[in-house]
Amino acid sequence: MRREEIRVCVLRVGGTNCDAETKRAFTDLGVKSEILHVNELVKHRNLLDYQVLVFPGGFSYGDYVRAGAIWARWILAKMGKELKCFVEEGRLILGICNGFQVLVEAGLLPGFDGISSYPEAALATNSPPGYNCRWVYLKQETNGKCIFTCNIPENKVLRMPVAHSEGRFVFAKDKEKLYLERLLENGQLVFRYCNKNGEYANGRFPINPNGSFHDIAGICNPEGTVFGLMPHPERAYYWWQHPNWTRQKQMPQYGDGKLIFESVIEYLTKNF
Q: Which residue in 164, 214, 232, 242 is the catalytic one?
A: 232
Q: Which residue in 9, 18, 97, 220 is the catalytic one?
A: 97
Separation CA 191–CA 156 (nearest Å): 10
Total H helices, total E strands in the chain: 6, 11
Three-state SS at 101: helix
Q: Which residue in 21, 120, 141, 234 is the catalytic one?
A: 234
How far, in whole angstroms, is CA 36 from its chain's centroid? 18
Give the DSSP letter of residue 254. Answer: B
232 labelled catalytic: yes
By CB neighbour count within 10 A (0-12 exposed, 13-18 middle, 19+ buried), where does 154 fall? exposed
* Closest C-alpha to 167, from 221, 112, 96, 115: 96
97 labelled catalytic: yes
Amino acid symbol at 54:
V
234 labelled catalytic: yes
Separation CA 272–CA 259 (nearest Å): 20
SS (H, E, C) 164-216: ECCCEEECCHHHHHHHHHHHHHHCCEEEEEECCCCCECCCCCCCCCCCCHHHE
Catalytic residues: 97, 232, 234
